[in-house]
Amino acid sequence: LSKDGWINTGDLGWITKNGELVLTGRAKDIIVLSNGENVEPQPIEDACLKSPFIEQIMLVGQDQASLGALVIPNEESIKSWFESNNIKCHDASEITKKPEIQKLFKQVLTECVKSRPNYRSFEKIQYFKILNEPFTIENGLMTQTMKLRKNEIQKRYEALIKEMFE
């Protein structure tokens, strides 16, 4: 128990006006940047998931100078954006290759992170990679309770993550 009577479970959360506890993540899920700053990824990921363009996201950057992200785009929103901007895209595998999509995601990620309350400059997502394959239970990158298996994702995309920070 902590000094104020809480059980130290390693969970993070907040208390509503009605006195209910809302769990938001795990304390051990902290990214420590090379400058010593500690970043809790869950609130940043949650802010990014509010964008209609982002289906899934996972922050990376342990021992790096800045944050990076693996992003799964929302295909329907991207297709609509392509149509409204007169950009030709014949299949989903082309999405990640378009320079326009890289520019769009840089802007979206920056806006999502900066719009958070208590934004700190080191929380900016400096690098990102857009993936074609979603994180699912079937591919082993998600648990039965729909949580990301971050260790498995990092193993699978280790080379891509390394490339992101080079």
Write the pLDDT tens digit of every residue in 79-124.
888 889 888 776 666 677 778 889 999 999 999 999 998 899 999 9
- The confidence band for 24, taking pLDDT boundaries of 50, 70 and 90, is low
What percent of the chain is modeled with pLDDT above 70?
A: 90
More confident: 156 or 85: 156
Q: What is the pLDDT of residue 114?
A: 94
Q: What is the pLDDT of residue 122?
A: 94
Q: How far apart are CA 153 and CA 142, in angstroms?
A: 9
Write the pLDDT tens digit of every residue in 128-146.
999 989 999 999 999 888 8
| Apex 73 CA angle, 25 and 146, nearest 5 | 35
Q: Are strands 54-60 and 38-39 parallel, antiparallel or unpaired?
A: unpaired
Q: What is the rounded (10 degree) CA torsion for 36, 38, 44, 45?
A: 100
Q: What is the pLDDT of residue 46?
A: 94
Q: Is the pLDDT of residue 23 over 90?
A: no
Q: What is the pLDDT of residue 10?
A: 66
Count of alpha carbons within 13 angstroms of residue 40, beta-carbon side: 16
